[in-house]
Amino acid sequence: MSELKNDRFLRALMKQPVDVTPVWMMRQAGRYLPEYKATRAHAGDFLSLCKNAELACEVTLQPLERFELDAAILFSDILTIPDAMGLGLYFEEGEGPRFRKTIRSEQDVEQLTVPDASNELGYVMNAVRTIRSALSGRVPLIGFSGSPWTLATYMVEGGSSKDFRTIKRMMYSQPDVLHALLAKLADSVIDYLNQQILAGAQAVQIFDTWGGVLSSQHYQAFSLRYMKKIVDGLLKEHDGRAVPSILFTKNGGQWIEAIADTGCAAAGLDWTVELGDIRQRVGDKIALQGNMDPSVLYASPDSIRKEVARILESFGSGEGHVFNLGHGIALDADPDHAKVFVDAVHELSAQYHR
């Protein structure tokens, strides 16, 4: 594997000195880019794009051709694991992901098998190897997975949900069934992420998109507990270099101390918290990633720069900050505004790293 030409993203995750604050964007390869839309049309549909290593590589690299990003992230979907478990993932136009089979009973959970990630999810590993080779050391590659709780919400609800009524009913009326499902998913995620690391991912992020819909006690019991199990089970280094892990719970800032106690290298933060406040609460225990509201990209270039400056000032001087949006970039965001954002992070952050 090629030596990294730009490792500031990995250095920041390990709280090591960097020249400027590194930046990448969640969903940076996606529908806001016209070149992505062209590649997806060529692929035929979203899942075909995910399962074609060359095309997945193409869309992973597309944002790097436009912006001076400090990391690439594997182009895939968080629902690959439940799909490999036989639930029949498909995408309804305008409706988002759906499953042909749902998990509603103890028997449903018992029938689920933990997929062999190197085999049943081999297309993801092929994509990782292809992307890593094409990057040729330009920037690090991030692998990722959904969290057990977030994956379970889709598997139990059958797709996206506004109120999570079905999985919460299971949580309150059949907690043992839900714990059994989450345990299987945690084992699956450990294998899945470790296979990504072996294939060439140099950092991994766990997306706990729906952890923030839980009460505090249930977040700890049904989400964070299983993310900690995953962190404990991950390969800590590969190719002679540490492989840092990032936990991102949307609307999870109130639990930052507990997240920091999991052993992860960094926590992703959404825009509902003040970065400086969070830094004070965790000290130097972990790095922090975030946390600009993606909707800021609708603002004028001058306003985008001002918000970047404000967030950099909030974090302050020193190491351990990876700049990112507080969630994925909006599908109708202007790519030119995304460039203003990325360039502003590099330009305005140098003063904090002297």
Catalytic residues: 27, 31, 40, 77, 154
For 261, the token pair is 């106690």
How many C-beta atoms surround the C-beta of residue 133 within 10 A? 12
Q: State whether the Cα torsion 189-195-196-201 is positive or negative.
A: positive
How far is 185 from 146, CA to CA, in rounded Å?
A: 10
For 307, the token pair is 């918000």
180 neighbors 104 (Cβ within 8 angstroms): no
How far is 264 from 33, CA to CA, in rounded Å?
A: 32
Contacts of 188 (CB under 8 A, 6+ apart): 81, 85, 114, 115, 117
How far is 44 from 106, CA to CA, in rounded Å?
A: 37
187 neighbors 149 (Cβ within 8 angstroms): no
